Every structure is written in C-alpha cells, then in structure tokens.
C-alpha cells in the first residue's frame, strides 16, 4: 500500500487585506496563541464547508466585530511552519460597518504600505506585503 503519511493537507487560512484611507489594517496575535505576539492580517482557519469569503466575514465578526465586503484575491501563499503547512488566501476587503473591538486580538494598527516592514509580521505574510507594496507604491 502507498505510504501517504508525508502528504498532509495544509491548513487553509483566509486573511483580509483591509484598505482604508490609504492604510492597511494589521492585528496583533494574543501572546497565548500559536505564533503569539506577531502582527498579521486579520482572518483565520477556513472551516469545513465554508467558502473563503464566508470564513473571512465570520472571522472578522468574531475577532473585531466589523463587517467587510470581500473583493478580489490578492495573493496565495504556501508556507511551512515547524508544526505544519499553511495555505493562505489573502483577499482585498473594504470595511463596511462596525467599530473595531479587540475581541480576539491584542491590538490593531492602520499602517501605510511602505511602513509594513516596520512591524514584526508573521513570516508567511512576506509575499503579501511585497504584493501590497508593488500595488500601492507611492
Ligand atoms: N489570520 C492570519 N493567520 C495567518 C496569517 N499568516 C499566517 O501565517 N497565518 C497562520 C497563523 C495560524 O497558524 C494560521 C491561522 O490560524 P489562527 O490560529 O489564527 O486561526 P483561528 O482564528 O481559526 O484560530 P483558532 O480557532 O485555532 O484559535 O495561519 C495572517 O496574515 N493572518
């Protein structure tokens, strides 16, 4: 029988690139979470049966209490962490309603694209940042 033990599916993750007044929203992962203390684009794991768009809207409600409109796919990233692989789908989003609350994040910050590298952002997000800097270079 074939050995498929090294063919584990990556964890599917959705991430929101929310652009508002020329700035991008970053959120800080709580210290007690896996990869805690790093900045990231808000989002999370896509659950079974969910579309990435639906998952994003759910995660943003759960983490920040905001409603967003999900737009185009900006970037897809595959990355291997020590604990396993992730496939991240990053969508351009716009903020529809709500006031940001820190329900499941430690902090948030609106950052100009050229300043994103000043933040300790999860390493898997580097291709998303490059794409953003190319797209919105001044
Ligand atoms: N949300 C988000 N996750 C990212 C980004 N970059 C990156 O490597 N990840 C990784 C970190 C986590 O291992 C995984 C997302 O899982 P998570 O733990 O945030 O998801 P979740 O909110 O569903 O968490 P939980 O139910 O397990 O608490 O993807 C990013 O920009 N945003």
pLDDT of 84 above 70: yes
pLDDT value of position 137: 75
Instruction: Tell me whether residue 64 is in a domain.
Output: yes
pLDDT tens-digit map of 91-124: 999 999 999 999 999 999 999 999 999 999 999 9
Whether 3 maps to a domain, the answer reads no
SS (H, E, C) the chain: CCCCCCCCCCEEEEEEEEEECCEEEEEECCCCCCCCCCEECCEEECCCCCCHHHHHHHHHHHHHCCEEEEEEEEEEEEEEECCEEEEEEEEEEEEEECCCCCCCCCEEEEECHHHHHHCCECHHHHHHHHHHHHHCCC
CATH number of the CATH domain containing 98: 3.90.79.10
pTM: 0.93
Q: Is residue 6 part of a domain?
A: no
Is the CB of 34 inside a 6 Å radius of any atom of ligand 1? yes
Containing structural domain, residue 115: 11-135
Atom in ligand 1 nearest the alpha carbon of residue 15? 32
Counting the structural domains of the chain, the total is 1
Of the chain, the end-to-end C-alpha distance in Å amounts to 56
Q: Whose CA is nearest to atom 15 of ligand 1?
A: 44
Give residue 3's pLDDT.
Answer: 53
pLDDT at 5: 54
Query: Residue 124, Cα to own-chain centre: how many angstroms?
Result: 10
- Position in ligand 1 atom list of the atom nearest CA 59: 22
Atom of ligand 1 nearest to the CA of 43: 1
Q: Any bridge partners for residue 12, and if so which? A: 87
pLDDT digits (tens, 9 = 90+) for 9-59: 899 999 999 999 999 999 999 999 999 999 999 999 999 999 999 999 999
Does a structural domain hold residue 5? no
Which residues, in sequence order, are bridge partners of residue 20? 23
Residue in the structure block whose two tokens are 């049966």 = 49
On whether ipTM exceeds 0.90, the answer is: yes
pLDDT at 6 over 90: no
């Amino acid at each position: 029988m074939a050995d498929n033990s090294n063919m584990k599916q990556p964890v599917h993750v959705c991430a929101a690139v929310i652009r508002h007044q020329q700035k991008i929203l970053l959120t800080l992962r709580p210290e007690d979470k896996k990869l805690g203390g790093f900045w990231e684009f808000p989002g999370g794991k896509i659950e079974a049966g969910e579309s990435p768009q639906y998952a994003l809207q759910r995660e943003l409600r759960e983490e920040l209490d905001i409603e967003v409109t999900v737009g185009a796919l900006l970037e897809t990233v595959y990355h291997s962490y020590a604990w396993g692989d992730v496939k991240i789908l990053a969508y351009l989003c716009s903020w529809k309603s709500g006031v940001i609350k820190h329900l499941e994040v430690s902090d948030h910050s609106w950052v100009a694209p050229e300043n994103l590298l000043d933040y300790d952002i999860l390493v898997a997000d580097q291709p998303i940042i490059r794409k953003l800097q190319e797209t919105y270079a001044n």
